Structure 1
Amino acid sequence: MLQDSDAYFAENEIYQTCDVLSEKGRLAQSQGPYIWVHPYAPPFPMLREVKPKNPRTARILKAREPQLIEPVKRTQLLHGPKCPIPLNTVLKTFHALTKPHSVLFAKKNENIHPFENAEGIEFLAGKNECGIVVFGSSSKKRPNCVTLVRIYNSKVLDMCEMLLLAGQGHQGNEMGKEEMKSMKLNIGVGMKPMMLFAGSAWEDATSPVYAMLKSIFLDMFKGEETDKIDVEGLQYLLSIVAEEPVEGSQPVIHLRWYKIRTKKSGQKLPRVELDEVGPKFDFRIGRMREADQDVMKEAMKQGKRPNEEAKTKKNIGMDAIGDKIGRVHLGRQDITGLQTRKMKGLKRRAGVVAVDGDGDGDVDLMDVDEMTDDDNRKKVKVG
Structure 2
Amino acid sequence: MSLLREVKPRNARTARIVKAREPQLLEDRKRVLLLHGSKCPEPIRNVLKTITTLTKPHAVQLTKKNENIHPFEDASSLEFLALKNDCALVAFATHSKKRPNNISLLRIFDGKVLDMVELLLLISAEESVEKGRLEVGVEMKPMILFAGSQWDDNSASEQATLFRQLKSTFLDVFQGEEISSIDVAGLQYVLMIAAGETNSTSTTTNTSDPSNKPVIHLRWYKVRTLRSDTPKVPRVELDQIGPSFDFRIGRHKFADESVMKEAMKHGRRPNEARTKKNIETDTMGDKLGRIHLGRQNLDELQTRKMKGLKRGRDEVEGQNVEMNGNGVYEDEDVVTQSEDEEGGVMFEEDEDEEISEGGSSVGGTGDEIDIGEESGAEADAMPKRQRLA
User: What TM-score does the superposition give when structure 2 sets the normalisation length?
Assistant: 0.67
Q: What amino acid sits opposite 1:162 in the alignment?
A: L
Q: Does 1:185 align with 2:134?
A: yes
TM-superposition CA deviations, 1:59-78 (whole Å, max 9, x none): 64354244554322111111
TM-superposition CA deviations, 1:104-128 (whole Å, max 9, x none): 2222222322122211100110011
Taking the aligned partners of 1:289 and 1:341, their CA distance within structure 2 comes to: 62
Q: Does 1:252 align with 2:215?
A: yes
Equivalent pair of 2:222/2:240 in contact (CA under 8 Å) = yes
Equivalent pair of 1:148/1:160 in contact (CA under 8 Å) = yes
Secondary structure of the residue that 1:304 maps to in structure 2?
Answer: coil
Q: What amino acid sits opposite 1:235 in the alignment?
A: Q
Taking the aligned partners of 1:144 and 1:71, their CA distance within structure 2 comes to: 31
* Residue number among 26, 29, 34 corresponding to 1:72 in the alignment: 29
Secondary structure of the residue that 1:96 maps to in structure 2?
Answer: helix
Q: What amino acid sits opposite 1:141 in the alignment?
A: K
Secondary structure of the residue that 1:159 maps to in structure 2?
Answer: strand
- Counterpart of 1:51 in structure 2 is 7
Equivalent pair of 1:98/1:220 in contact (CA under 8 Å) = yes
Q: Does 1:125 align with 2:82?
A: yes
**Closer/same/farther in 2, CA of residues 186 and 49 from structure 1, 3 Å limit:** farther
The equivalences for 1:365-376 within 5 A come to none
Q: CA shift at 1:292, angstroms?
A: 1.5
Equivalent pair of 1:65/1:153 in contact (CA under 8 Å) = no
* Residue number among 77, 99, 107 corresponding to 1:150 in the alignment: 107
The equivalences for 1:101-180 within 5 A come to 101-169=58-126, 175-176=128-129, 179-180=130-131
Equivalent pair of 2:82/2:90 in contact (CA under 8 Å) = yes
Q: What amino acid sits opposite 1:233 in the alignment?
A: G
- Counterpart of 2:273 in structure 1 is 309
TM-superposition CA deviations, 1:147-200 (whole Å, max 9, x none): 111101100111111111113426xxxx33xx23xx100110111111111123
Q: What amino acid sits opposite 1:147 in the alignment?
A: S
Equivalent pair of 2:144/2:175 in contact (CA under 8 Å) = no
Q: Does 1:201 align with 2:154?
A: no
**Closer/same/farther in 2, CA of residues 325 and 279 from structure 1, 3 Å limit:** closer
**Closer/same/farther in 2, CA of residues 270 and 123 from structure 1, 3 Å limit:** same
User: What TM-score does the superposition give when structure 1 sets the normalisation length?
Assistant: 0.68
Q: What amino acid sits opposite 2:189 in the alignment?
A: Y
Q: Does 1:280 align with 2:226?
A: no
Equivalent pair of 2:25/2:269 in contact (CA under 8 Å) = no
User: Aligned pair count?
Assistant: 299
Equivalent pair of 2:220/2:241 in contact (CA under 8 Å) = yes
Which ranges of structure 1 fall in alignment gaps of 5 or more residues? Answer: 1-47, 347-354, 365-383
**Closer/same/farther in 2, CA of residues 100 and 332 from structure 1, 3 Å limit:** same
- Counterpart of 1:293 in structure 2 is 257
Taking the aligned partners of 1:54 and 1:115, their CA distance within structure 2 comes to: 36
Equivalent pair of 1:241/1:255 in contact (CA under 8 Å) = yes
- Counterpart of 2:356 in structure 1 is none
Taking the aligned partners of 1:122 and 1:130, their CA distance within structure 2 comes to: 9
Equivalent pair of 1:66/1:153 in contact (CA under 8 Å) = no
Secondary structure of the residue that 1:209 maps to in structure 2?
Answer: helix
Taking the aligned partners of 2:99 and 2:141, their CA distance within structure 1 comes to: 32
Q: CA shift at 1:329, angstroms?
A: 6.3
- Counterpart of 1:240 in structure 2 is 193
Q: What amino acid sits opposite 2:71 in the alignment?
A: P
| Higher radius of gyration, 1 or 2 | 2
Equivalent pair of 2:92/2:105 in contact (CA under 8 Å) = yes
Q: What amino acid sits opposite 2:139 in the alignment?
A: G
Equivalent pair of 1:87/1:136 in contact (CA under 8 Å) = yes
- Counterpart of 2:359 in structure 1 is none
Taking the aligned partners of 1:322 and 1:314, their CA distance within structure 2 comes to: 17
Q: What amino acid sits opposite 1:151 in the alignment?
A: I
Q: Percent identity?
A: 56
Q: CA shift at 1:302, angstroms?
A: 2.7
**Closer/same/farther in 2, CA of residues 50 and 115 from structure 1, 3 Å limit:** farther
Taking the aligned partners of 2:291 and 2:104, their CA distance within structure 1 comes to: 54
Equivalent pair of 2:36/2:92 in contact (CA under 8 Å) = yes
Q: CA shift at 1:100, angstroms?
A: 2.0
Secondary structure of the residue that 2:126 maps to in structure 1?
Answer: coil
Question: RMSD of aligned C-alpha atoms?
Answer: 3.3
